[in-house]
Structures are given as C-alpha cells and as structure tokens.
Amino acid sequence: MFDLFREISQTLSHNKVRTALTGIAVTWGIFMLIVLLSMARGVTNSFNHDMMQGNNAKIQVWSGNTSIPYHGNREGRRIRLKDKDMVSVKDNNSGYVEEVTSRLSGGGKITSEKAQVSQSYSGVFPREFTPSRNGDIIAGRFLNSRDMDTKAKVMVIPQRYAAQLFPPDGKDALGSRVNCNGLSFLVVGVYESRWNREVYIPFTTARMMAADREDLGNLSINLKDVNTEKDGTDAEDGVRNTLAANHDFDPKDTNAVYIYNRFTSSLTTKNALGILDTCVWVLGILTLLTGIVGISNIMFVTVRERTHEIGIRRAIGAKPRKILTQVIVESVAITVIFGYIGIVLGTAVTQIIAMLIGEGDNTPLRNPTVSITIALEVTAVLVIAGMLAGLFPALKALKVKPVEALRDE
C-alpha cells in the first residue's frame, strides 16, 4: 500500500504543471456540480415547505364571463356563483369533494373607545385559518362551527390592530368589543403574523351583512382521495360540469368560471423540479468531463513514461490485473484529491449563500446546502469518473509486451 502511494506521488510530481491544470478543471467541475445541486435542492425545499403550509388537494373557482353562446344565451354573460353552488358541487362530486367553502369581504372602519383602524374584514369558514400559513393565535381562539351556526358577531384580529385599538400593547383586546359597520363585535381571538393583516368574522355573519345576500365571488373546494393527475383532472371536470348545469353555460367554456387546480399544479411543479435536478446533474457531469479527459491524458503519458518499468514487472511475473489496478487506482486518487477540493469549496459557498438568504417564509431558496446524500452521490461520481479516466490508459499498459518494453529507451 505504501508503494502505491509513493508511485502516485511520483506521478503527480513528474507532471506538476499538467497535473495542476487538469486538477483545476476537475475541481471546477465538482465545485459547479455541488453549487448547482445545492441551488436545485434549495428550490425543491422551498417548494416542499410551501406545500406543507397549505392544503394542496384544493380547487379554487372564481366568477367569469361566458365566451361561447349556449342554449340561446349570448356570449359575455356574467356568471355569478351562488350559495347553492357550494351545496351542489359537494353533493354531485362526493367521490372527490370533501368540503366547499367561500369567502366574503367587506370594507369599513373598526373602532374601539380609544382608536380606530381602516381595514376590510373577511367572512370565512373555521378551516380557512391554519397557523403555518396565516399566523399563530396568541390569545383566545379562532372562529368555530358554533359561531357559524348562530351567525355570531365575533371577530379575530391581528396583534398589530389589537395594539392600535387597545393601547399600548393590546392585552385588553381579548374579550373587549369593537364596532364595525354599525355592529358590535366581540374580540374572541388575537393572532400574530409578520405579513397577514386580515380581520376575520364568521362567513354567515358576513353573508348577513352583505348587500347582496346570494352572490359569491369564489369557491374553495377541498378534495379527498386524489392521488394521481387523472384524479385531479376528473375532480376539476366534475366541478365545472356541475357549475355549467347550475348556470346554463357550455362545460367547454373555460372563461365562464376560472378554475385553479392546485393539486394538478403541484404535481406539474414536482415533475418540473425532477427535470431540473436531472438537468443539473447532466450539466455538472459534462463540466466534469473536461477534467476527466485531462486526467486520462496524464495517465496515457504516465504509461508511456513507465513503459520500461511495466515491462520489467511483466517479465518478473507481475499479473496483468495488478498493472491494471495500479493505473486505475492512480487515476482515481488524482480525481478524488482534486474533486474533494471542489467539494470543500462548493460546500463553503453554499453555506455562505444559506447564511445570506436566511430562513424567511418567502425565500426562493430554503436551506440550499449540501446534504449527506449529495455528498455520497458526488463521491460516487468521483470514483466512477476516476476509474473511467484510468481505464483506457490501463488497457494500453496491458498491451505492452515485456520484450519490447525492455528494449524501450
């Protein structure tokens, strides 16, 4: 083993400039591979984090205008979603639809005895608030089914407005009353969020306060038992067909209602990220190939310079397998040495990028660092690349005939 390391050292020292230039190419290739893989992993982590924050098995529907004449109705007719649509969409698509909700918004000033804020309110269902996406309840509770059933005049406000309405810190907000559009509301909850500023009241209460007691601006449909893209597409088609029957428009008219299928979109994004990861690997390996070709050339020169030595070894009984192993191991060693320099540099750069980006909620890259899996994969690439770089020079070494090698000057 010691002799093998000594021979590798001699190979490096005899071709210092050529080895250094080739090593730089290998280091650069591995460095780029590590950085690109880390960036791709950061994008994937950010996507997975966003997916975990909300329910991806979901369909959103908004009102639109027809673009195709149908049953005597001209194009351009406004389709207005109604309360009955929430019931019929669930009943007619029970195989895929778990729950149908909506949201109503209204404007106005929210006042207390000490201050007021100009902020619209949102009438929502209890399930519309999730801590990972909307914020954290720091006092009291969120809306519940009893609030919905009784059309209770209760409100959940952000900490920022609590501090403004009930200075100085908003601690007196919980259990206090505020006025909104001439109605008195009881504050039952206060939440903390860095970006969310919505004021929440029960959907049924917002419906009672709305000037139009039937129209809805949107539908939010939670899906169940959807596992494939076909399931998501079938669920979307079922929703569109139900609404088409309710409002008498052509089911093929995609402008009559606008549908965003979050489930199929998430599957498409996953596939795109998989393609991105593959492209990064291909690009990195192609970059690495320039260095591998250089190492192969070095080994060809080494075999040529050591032809006399190889001939002596063959003459005294050295087996071809030993000569083959020696050349390949030398090639792998050179590749791994310079490759790990690239790994160290690439890891350092990704750590710096991760520190600069931070862990914000809206960051496009989340934890873009090298994982153990990536390190093992790159190590395997290095070993395989080194073996391939030394394979052809090693085969050439085996073709050297002892008699001709001993005559070589």
Mind listing the pLDDT tens digit for each residue in 311-350?
666 667 667 677 677 777 777 777 778 888 888 888 888 8
Mind listing the pLDDT tens digit for each residue in 41-68?
777 777 666 655 556 789 999 999 999 9
The yes-or-no verdict on residue 363 having pLDDT over 70 is no
Q: Give 147's pLDDT tier (boundaries 50, 70, 90).
A: very high
Give the DSSP letter string of 158-209.
EHHHHHHHSTTTSTT-TT-EEEETTEEEEEEEEEE-SS---EEEEHHHHHHH
- And the tokens for 131? 């801590």
87 CB burial (10 A radius; 0-12, 13-18, 19+): exposed
Give the DSSP letter string of 113-129.
SS-EEE--EEEE-GGG-
Which secondary-structure segment (H or E) carries 257? strand 257-261
Q: Assess contact for 217 and 81: CB atoms under 8 A.
A: yes
Q: Give 379's pLDDT tier (boundaries 50, 70, 90).
A: confident
Q: Cis check for the bond before 368: say yes or no (omega within 30 of 0).
A: no
Share of the chain above pLDDT 70, in %: 77
pTM of the model: 0.66
**Rounded mean pLDDT of 374-394?**
73
| pLDDT, greater one: 240 or 32 | 240
What dihedral do alpha carbons 189, 190, 196, 201 form, nearest 10°?
30
Which secondary-structure segment (H or E) carries 391? helix 372-398
4 contacts: CB under 8 Å, gap ≥ 6: 326, 329
Q: Give 243's pLDDT tier (boundaries 50, 70, 90).
A: very high
